[in-house]
Structure 1
Amino acid sequence: MKMYLVGGAVRDAMLERPVTERDWVVTGASPKMLLSRGFTQVGKDFPVFLHPATKEEYALARLERKSGQGYTGFTCDAGPTVTLEEDLQRRDLTVNAMAQDETGNIIDPFGGRADLEKRLLRHVSDAFSEDPLRVLRVARFAARYHYLGFRIADETMALMREMARSGMLAELTAQRVWQETRRALMESTPIVFFITLEQAEALNDWFFQLRPFSNHYQQVLQRAADQQMPLQVRIGVLASYLTQEQAQDLCTKLTCPNDIVSICQLAAAFTRPLINVKKAETLLDVFNACDVWRKPERFATLLDICQLRAETEGRVWSRLKIAGALDAARSVDVQAIIAQGHKGPAIKSALNDARQQAIQEKGVF
């Protein structure tokens, strides 16, 4: 039995990037052998085990063969005769198909080291085309390593286009697509993810609302990344250029979490009105529609999106004025309104009037 460090940990160490997680491949072993050493089995589709001390993942070397339709149509052989090279050959990119043994020697059967030096993302074999998720993964790696000058090999991009044109990406589950998208959005150059998908003709199935991936998207998303904004802001700035229907379609297609759906809907509906607001009455309508009274944190995220849009488009816009108007509106005492004798629906009407007057007195407009 032998154990090898594989994949991203080897790649990133060679690039002198921080190694955040380590994965291992085990050859010449059976599940029984690992269980006898205190490992815990967690894999369902193939044998993956957690180390008893480090909790790092150790997977038995395996072969995968296409046996049916779709990205789940594979049979797995994880027997003790499967070699390390056979395991590495099933991986997506050459830079991810390297291993390191216990003495520190690098095993590199497919030229991953040379491709790292060339700053090249190149597929290992034609088996790449058996899993459509790899189109999204390569786009995400392109976004992650763009700052180092990496590019996608011409033959790999050609293969990605063939896969996209075949309709394979439609086979993916929304959960898998969202996970890749979420991770890509948090890279240092997330725009490269979408630009790569556009070049690969792969926006159609999951991101058709963003076609074409225009300069507006690119500039504002990169500004959000440069300012290290959270995920809600990064996807929100994209949604701010969409209609409400388009934003809803995008989130529904990807089965986004509720907090993402909520901010995308607000961004699509209210970014432009907030940037262009000229009247206290209009601003108060936006406050009410966004439910700022109960969800101030969500509205603060919307203001982040507006600020990024305004900066990117060279607009004169003051977040402080909007925040000041909100503070003024918040200062209105609901109990004082009730004490004036208003009842039922009249309370809401009087409260709105008082809040609008407070905004006007603040002198924002």
Structure 2
Amino acid sequence: MMQIYEVGGALRDELLGLPSTDRDWVVVGTTPEEMETRGFQPVGRDFPVFLHPATHEEYALARTERKTAPGYRGFILHADPTVTLEEDLKRRDLTINAMARDSNHRWIDPYGGLTDLKNRILRHVSPAFSEDPVRLLRVARFLAKLAPFGFTVAPETSALLRQMVNNGEVDALVPERILQELNKGMETTNPARMFEALADWGALKKFFPTIDALWIHTGDLAKNAVDHGARRNLEQVLRWAAWVSALFHGSSRQIWHPLLETWARNLRWSKEQHQWVELSCALGPSARHLSPQQPEEWLPLLEGCDAWRRPQRFFHFLELQECLGEVLKDLQPNLSTRGKAALAACQALDLPALVRSAPTPAEIPQRLRAARHAALCALSPTRRST
């Protein structure tokens, strides 16, 4: 007899009072053929998943899995009408994700998820947890997402996570999947909890080679910076830039640039991620230290940020540096206001007239730069008062 249960993160989030748009369902006691007869549309490539004909929500047949090879793809899945709900829930990662609710709104909780949710504990369901290295990243991400609720990881689960790192299970993770999970964690209200947990389990240095010395000296600054960026609601790429920039605080380019290139290559950072981190590391310290008495020093920063063509990116850069400066305590006053005034002064120039005044085309860049420098000098408080 076919039975349908609601499962997964939507139930967890509902109990925590969090918004959740995606609902998942498990179907017990049926076959793919019967699902299609009832109008469900098959979409699963590796296992039987169907879309409801009206709601288009996902309905998966109850299934078990067996480990056959290293990594998170080395599983054989088994689904047939004899697989029970309890067997399906047992293959899930955490007890708070292994609860179900039937059509009569009765809870099925064979692994103590309701108790762990009440006690704010992340605990693995079974020893099979260690067979999927993605779960290490998921637990770290859940810590970040649920940080406002004060969740901690059960000691036995932390021990298992460290064992997964030590025995090389996480080495099978591909860069794209690592970055996908890290990006999700970066979008939470407390991304620092994710990095803190990964460091505690020994995984951070796997994903960011040679980070150990930096983490000891500037790890706290990096955690504070990324959480401050989250509180300021910075975009994900800017939060990445805040975390890495604070981590490299006080390091010379000879130190941070090779590391940055290695991390970007290993994690397959997007072009935008890579550019933002490099821009902040290269120009951020100069911007944060720029004196109100020397507005002409904005010129190389405006040029480096390509502010003429991308003014909005320059404004985001200023916002990022204010975020960093508040954490690093190296911020000159009114950074954004001064930066926007500097750009406005340059934008007010009559560029076509300057271009026409140049004796030769080769002299146009020099003419433009000299005019911009003069416009910025005019912003100096001492020059305006004379």
Task: Give yes or no for contact 1:310–1:317 (8 Å, CA) kept in 2.
Answer: no
In 2: Cα distance, 1:170 partner to 1:344 partner: 56
2:275 alignment partner in structure 1: 262
In 2: Cα distance, 1:332 partner to 1:209 partner: 47
1:345 alignment partner in structure 2: 362
1:316 alignment partner in structure 2: 332
Find the residue that maps to 2:265 and give its secondary structure: helix
Question: Residue 226 of structure 1: which of 231, 236, 254 is its match?
Answer: 231
- Where structure 2 has 5 or more consecutive residues not aligned to the other structure, the ranges are 249-255
In 1: Cα distance, 2:170 partner to 2:362 partner: 52
Q: Do structure 1's residue 275 and structure 2's residue 288 form an aligned pair?
A: yes
Task: Give yes or no for contact 2:10–2:24 (8 Å, CA) kept in 1.
Answer: yes
Which is worse superposed, 222-231 or 113-122? 222-231
Q: For 1:1-365, list aligned pairs within 5 A.
A: 1-208=2-209, 210-211=211-212, 212=215, 214-241=219-246, 242=248, 243-278=256-291, 279-280=294-295, 282-314=297-329, 315-318=331-334, 319-363=336-380
What whole-Å deviation, never above 9, does each CA across 1:277-311 have from its counterpart, x for those lacking one?
34555421222122111122222221111000111
Find the residue that maps to 1:54 and give its secondary structure: coil
Question: AA paired with 1:61?
Answer: A
Cα drift, residue 131 of structure 1 = 0.6
In 1: Cα distance, 2:280 partner to 2:272 partner: 12
In 1: Cα distance, 2:40 partner to 2:381 partner: 64
Cα drift, residue 316 of structure 1 = 2.9
Question: AA paired with 2:229?
Answer: A
TM-score, normalised with respect to structure 1: 0.95
In 2: Cα distance, 1:338 partner to 1:295 partner: 21
Cα drift, residue 105 of structure 1 = 0.6
Cα drift, residue 126 of structure 1 = 0.6
In 1: Cα distance, 2:347 partner to 2:257 partner: 28
In 1: Cα distance, 2:302 partner to 2:132 partner: 46
Q: Taking structure 1 as reference, are residues 14 and 313 closer, same or farther at Cα in structure 2, changes over 3 Å only?
A: same
Find the residue that maps to 1:197 and give its secondary structure: helix
- Where structure 1 has 5 or more consecutive residues not aligned to the other structure, the ranges are none
Task: Give yes or no for contact 1:63–1:77 (8 Å, CA) kept in 2.
Answer: yes
CA RMSD of aligned residues (A): 1.7
In 2: Cα distance, 1:177 partner to 1:308 partner: 26
Cα drift, residue 333 of structure 1 = 2.1
Task: Give yes or no for contact 1:240–1:269 (8 Å, CA) kept in 2.
Answer: no
In 1: Cα distance, 2:40 partner to 2:314 partner: 47
Question: AA paired with 2:377?
Answer: Q
